[in-house]
Amino acid sequence: MLKKKAQWKKGRGKLGLLAPLIGAWKAEGKLPVGIGTVRCTRTFTSMLNGSYVQLNARWEFGKGVYEELAIFGFQEGKISFWSFTSDGKRSQGTISDAREVHPEAIAFEAQMPAGLARMIYWPNEDGGFNWAVESKTKKGWNRFTEHHYVPA
């Protein structure tokens, strides 16, 4: 059996795992019936001499805008994130395993008011990457958002 060639090239250092995400990305998707389309941009930037990665995300839907600023860094032996959103909420979490989604998936889990959630990034065969958000249920993970991002 031939081993599948890696689609993402990891970088050096503690945050090298995030290297495939560095850059500006865009996606478009449908929202529930009657709400319309959402456009999202995600820009990942290495900062502070590679000690952190910053994410600026902007969701545009109808007449609304939702923004997120997240910082990825290394804490207590794990890659972690701290997220702040335009609705005044914040969350934090750590790297987790999502190899059942894709062998090269990069996932983070966070304890949210409604329970455990995770976000996952993985390479898309057609280029760019997929991103999903899931909530933990008794039966496993329940995916409620998925986008395909391409270079902006």
- CATH H-level superfamily of 16-151: Calycin beta-barrel core domain (2.40.128.20)
Mean pLDDT of residues grouped by 10 in the chain (152 residues)? 62 92 92 74 96 96 90 95 96 95 95 92 93 93 90 94
Domain ranges of the chain: 16-151
CA distance 71 to 107: 15
In this predicted structure, what is the pLDDT of residue 1? 44
pLDDT of amino acid 63: 78
Please choose, from the candidates 151, 152, 118, the residue with its C-alpha nearest in 3D space to the C-alpha of residue 137.
118
